[in-house]
Amino acid sequence: DIQMTQSPSSLSASVGDRVTITCRASQSISSYLNWYQQKPGKAPKLLIYAASSLQSGVPSRFSGSGSGTDFTLTISSLQPEDFATYYCQQSYSTLLFTFGPGTKVDIK
Amino acid sequence: EVQLLESGGGLVQPGGSLRLSCAASGFTFSSYAMSWVRQAPGKGLEWVSAISGSGGSTYYADSVKGRFTISRDNSKNTLYLQMNSLRAEDTAVYYCAKVGLYCSSTSCYYYFDYWGQGTLVTVSS
């Protein structure tokens, strides 16, 4: 089974900061990596699919990069509405998925 | 507008059963795979199960294999999750999700592009 890790598990940042979250897979998953944002009490929201493709309607300050085992989600200028928990997800095998443990971004 | 509406959650005793439903609208239901994802209180997301658009192929996380059964009725635009032999650790909010698909020239990629609001399952005596 493919295991996913994320770092850091939490971070504190200020509005306007550049934020980077890392996700690592236990084996190569090419670009089969998605990113989601979840706010308390709400369903997750898709941000990035196929490692670097921005989902329609998602602000361009969000970007994804990486391939193989190491991936990054970057928020170029953190906005108040971006304080949330972020999850990576691998989709390497057809319709078999694994989520990372999540990274909580809160206000410094 | 895509809408996914889960129902069927509630309180059940350990060892009991429950069936969740997810009513879908706003897209051609039979053309898309669907999935269930759960989230225990205060914890992260855990993928549970997925089913192909036709219903002919099903997939499960090891934690639920042999106890949960995913199915769909394309005539009713409804996804189901039959949960048997429930345990305390199955307590969670259960989300249904539409599986989106993007194909480049070389590969196809799956992701969850729409989610329901979730239904709470509590397993406790």
> Which of B44, B51, B99 lies closest to A87 in CB terms?
B44
B120 touches chain A (CB under 8 A): no
pLDDT band at A20 (very low <50, low <70, confident <90, very high): very high
Taking CA A49 as the corner, what is the angle to CA A45 and CA A51, rounded to the nearest 5 degrees?
A: 130
Interface of B with A in 64-83 (CB under 8 A): none
Interface of A with B in 10-29 (CB under 8 A): none
List CB contacts (< 8 A) between A97 and chain B: 35, 47, 50, 110
Mean pLDDT of the A83-87 span: 97
> Which of A1, A49, A101 lies closest to B111 in CB terms?
A49
Residue A94 reports pLDDT greater than 90: no
pLDDT band at A38 (very low <50, low <70, confident <90, very high): very high
Per-residue pLDDT of chain B (125 residues; tens, 9 = 90+): 999 999 999 999 999 999 999 999 999 999 999 999 999 999 999 999 999 999 999 999 999 999 999 999 999 999 999 999 999 999 999 999 999 999 999 999 999 999 999 999 999 99
pLDDT band at A68 (very low <50, low <70, confident <90, very high): very high
A49 touches chain B (CB under 8 A): yes
Which residues are CB-contacts of B46 (< 8 A; sequence separation ≥ 6)?
A: A99, B37, B38, B39, B40, B61, B63, B92
**What proportion of chain A, given as a percentage, has pLDDT over 90?**
96
Tell me what pLDDT residue A108 has. Answer: 86
Q: How does B51-82 read in b/e, with b if 16+ C-beta sit within 10 Å?
A: bbbebeeebbbeebeeebbbebeeeebbbbbe
The nearest alpha carbon in chain A to B46 belongs to A99
A38 touches chain B (CB under 8 A): yes
Which of A21, A95, A103 would you mutate first to test chain B, the one with the most B CBs within 10 A? A95
Residue A49 reports pLDDT greater than 90: yes
